[in-house]
């Protein structure tokens, strides 16, 4: 049986404010899904809710991983269970080197029953693997000695996330705007790297506004989010359409969701 991440009628509030209003999405391992939609429609909120970010309160619906209740797991259990998210705005961790961070994270994901203080992956084995992956991603080994995301450029942050993806090899990966802030060549490299790492082993949800990231990662499904719901699902042609034409057709076709979206935009503007 295919391994599956299943989201059913998901409602999520942030600070008491409803954002997601009934999201349904099923991702099988080996599939690539693109998630598109205007700014503020709830895409990052979906990713954060799947990862178990404490500020994102699930008020209704379910998330399951191979039938197991993901909502009953805390964030680290979800990561150990094989769910990974590359954040739109990753946190920096001054004082913690990339290599040490990756060694801990990789050990924890590979050995989910490991207790704090138990053995990490042996240093030699880890170094060998890390060097191989960095070679594959055309990254300078110096990079691993820097503090996590500390003073990283936009491009370096995204590449650090892709390196995590390569080392952790999750079952399901959510990539939130891995292309934002990157120039065309960097997006191309990111796209190629994700395709190399992903393969048939991973279920991937790519949140993106651009079609370049999809060049090497042709989505099996494209979903459009508007007003906190997925209003339409299609193939790769839908991603191309939205990229070139924008969301006018979508807003016209789903007036109810468009009204919610307009309201969400207003409250966002008021909050800023
Ligand atoms: P997208 O990723 O599609 O641009 P988001 O999921 O980031 O949209 O945001 C959807 C809505 O939820 C916006 O109105 C945004 O202001 C609100 N929101 C998301 N995260 C937070 C948060 N941590 N605190 C307050 N509001 C939030
Ligand atoms: Mg976002």
pLDDT for the residue 271: 58
* Per-residue CA distances from 191 to 92, 150, 162, 167, 176 (Å): 23, 24, 10, 17, 13
Residue 111 binned pLDDT confidence (cut-offs 50, 70, 90): confident
- Say how many C-beta atoms besides its own lie within 10 A of residue 30's C-beta: 16
pLDDT for the residue 114: 75
Residue nearest to atom 15 of ligand 1 (CA): 40
Residue nearest to atom 25 of ligand 1 (CA): 14
pLDDT tens per residue, range 187-211? 888 888 888 888 778 999 999 877 7
Contact in structure between 208 and 240 (CB atoms under 8 Å): no
Which numbered ligand comes closest to the C-alpha of 38? Answer: 1
pLDDT over 80 at 39, yes or no = yes
pLDDT for the residue 187: 81
pLDDT over 60 at 272, yes or no = no
Q: Which residue segments constitute the domains of the chain, with CATH numbers given?
A: 4-90+170-271 (3.40.50.300)
Residue 1 binned pLDDT confidence (cut-offs 50, 70, 90): low
Residues of the chain with pLDDT > 90, as a percent, come to 63
CA distance 193 to 161: 11
Q: Which residue has the higher pLDDT, 110 or 269?
A: 110
Mean of pLDDT values over 214-231: 94
Residue 263 binned pLDDT confidence (cut-offs 50, 70, 90): very high
Q: What is the mean pLDDT of the chain?
A: 90
Write out the two tokens for 236. 């790769």
Distance between Cα 122 and ligand 2 center (Å) = 37
- Say how many C-beta atoms besides its own lie within 10 A of residue 47's C-beta: 22
Closest C-alpha to 50, from 218, 213, 205:
205
pLDDT tens per residue, range 133-158? 999 888 888 999 999 989 888 888 88
C-alpha R_g of the chain: 19
pLDDT for the residue 177: 82
Distance between Cα 42 and ligand 1 center (Å) = 6
Residue 184 binned pLDDT confidence (cut-offs 50, 70, 90): confident
């Amino acid at each position: 049986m295919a391994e599956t991440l299943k989201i059913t009628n998901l409602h999520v509030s942030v600070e008491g404010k409803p954002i997601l209003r009934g999201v349904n999405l099923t991702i099988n391992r080996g599939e690539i899904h693109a998630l598109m939609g205007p700014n503020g429609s709830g895409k990052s909120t979906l990713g954060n809710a799947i990862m178990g970010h404490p500020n994102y309160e699930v008020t209704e619906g379910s998330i399951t991983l191979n039938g197991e209740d993901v909502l009953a797991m805390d964030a680290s259990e979800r990561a150990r269970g094989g769910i990974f998210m590359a954040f739109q705005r990753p946190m920096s961790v001054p004082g913690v080197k990339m290599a040490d961070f990756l060694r801990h994270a990789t050990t924890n994901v590979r050995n989910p029953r490991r207790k704090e203080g138990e053995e990490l992956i042996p240093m030699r084995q880890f170094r060998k693997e890390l060097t191989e992956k960095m070679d594959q991603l055309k990254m300078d080994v110096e990079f691993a000695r820097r503090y996590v995301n500390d003073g990283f450029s936009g491009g370096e942050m995204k590449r650090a996330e892709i390196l995590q993806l390569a080392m952790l090899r999750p079952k399901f990966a959510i990539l939130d705007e891995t292309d934002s802030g990157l120039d065309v060549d960097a997006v191309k490299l990111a796209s190629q790297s994700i395709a190399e790492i992903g393969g048939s082993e991973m279920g991937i949800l790519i949140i993106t506004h651009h079609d370049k990231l999809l060049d090497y990662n042709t989505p099996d499904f494209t979903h459009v989010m508007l007003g906190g719901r997925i209003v339409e699902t299609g193939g790769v042609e839908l991603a191309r359409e939205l990229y070139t034409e924008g969301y006018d057709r979508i807003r016209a076709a789903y007036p109810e969701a468009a009204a919610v979206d307009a309201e969400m935009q207003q409250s966002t503007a008021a909050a800023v």
